[in-house]
Structure 1
């Protein structure tokens, strides 16, 4: 069956519908919106809980679907609010089952979301910004300038659109889900949009709604050191670090935020990350670049760097993109690197590239919409 991408979402995403959206609001936010719309204060708490359940547990896409509330109130809600999704302007499925959505938001800007399936589960890779500010040298997304942060509603809506497509409403009770994990590894740097990311993830974790456990959510950062402790304390999600180099000289080139927060500061923040323990290890993401960062000496230095931190190392074969300045490490170099890290007692799986035929693999996400917008408006960039 073809995915249900509705015409009503196109009107919402085009900015033609001026009614405020309830997507992205928690119960308190929904209650405030109802009060502002003239709802009686003695009914607000109950009605906010009803709406939260219908929106995030049952996945309602219109107020008419909310059959447990009166027709009169449904009509009133429809006059005042929307619960529309972003418009899906491009949807692709890879030969390996990976799915990629390009979603357009109310101001016309777009971001990408990817679902990576396994046999009985799957991870949804969610974007936090349109574009990215960090310009990591090996990352295709980093070649697109930052346009803006995504709102909490635009972040959580990516998960909701994916569940619409896959057909995972209402929230499964037995935990057997095709979207079982969230990884904040899409377009953008999540810790540079922390407030919106945190609001969205708290909605995703709510047991009466989407109900994805904090243990199944991973936030990836390139090293925004001042926000790491707060993230662990407030969200308690798993932490992944885009490391990619074991000395400041190389990391300054590959991951430019290192010039502001060098390795010593980053490692100190990870050693004290509140949510890390032996059962919930910090993941170190390390893209393998031929002749750049893949020597045995660098593998040994990586082991030295992470010593004393509950850790797992994900080795990521570089995924090429048009004009990329690097090549993927040779299989034998990756094997030797992994062997050194494994022999030191750290799990070091080599990530199998997924979705390469639809440019959905790690580091490949980049929408062409911003270039097209500039061409249409005559703005240079």
Structure 2
């Protein structure tokens, strides 16, 4: 085992073991395992935590993204072939969801200092068929939500959020990821800041019609058993995952605060001139550091840094090595050039970030990077 693992899920969940066991036992004893009491309680609790009116639990984060877009289409707010602006450097799920809903993804390059969709490039990416912007709070950092939403309102565009990495990220005024657009999608994949013990997802919205449509689509297109008004899918948050997530939710803010402490040390103590650190937001509460991503000045330097850290017992990952437009699945879909996304894919490196990292482990990472 590495001296400093990238993420140790067993250690991360260990402090909550008693409450997790109690929650699991309660589900088993209830005899009800799909869309029951625990799902309702978690939906309500997470909606309140994020400051929105409605939450619908679904099977996973990709389903959450797809279903919130499909719901808007069923309600006549989007139509097949409409264009949706998405970041060029996002995880493939963002783009897959747009395609799966029958919409056309249009890639927008990120700002190099933040990794997030560049508001300055959104205007030039809009076309006659552009109908929506899908913001991605990449790596747990809120993107320029006010600027993007203001532009969208001026053009009559819908705004959606991919909040899969941003559980608890807030602006200084308290507004939370998941509360800015027409709807927002969350993933509770086990590695997330609020992680389940398998796949799980959720759609948040202040629009009751969107919430009802997502719930219907995720239940085979059925509002009433055996009566299918739409061509839906099976995507429902099960009771076990809901109960376990409900047990962990009260600890999310404390967990995020520890991530912020570690990030602050990284940003102030990593001094290697070959390393480009992420831009620090004005308020550290804005960013929940799902992953901490550094950049090197070249692909060779990134690869050498990764080898060096591995040799010294420090695990790293690359988020993400291939941008969407270079994936084989989209080989013939995007005709533009996306040099910033490609450069980022070649030079980014994610270093250990976990709320259960010790101060000594953080020091080990910093010291080893500085020694490279």
TM-score, L = length of structure 1 = 0.28
> RCO higher in 1 or 2 (8 Å CA, sep ≥ 6)?
2
Which structure has the highest helix share of the two?
A: 2
Largest Rg, 1 or 2: 1
TM-score, L = length of structure 2 = 0.29
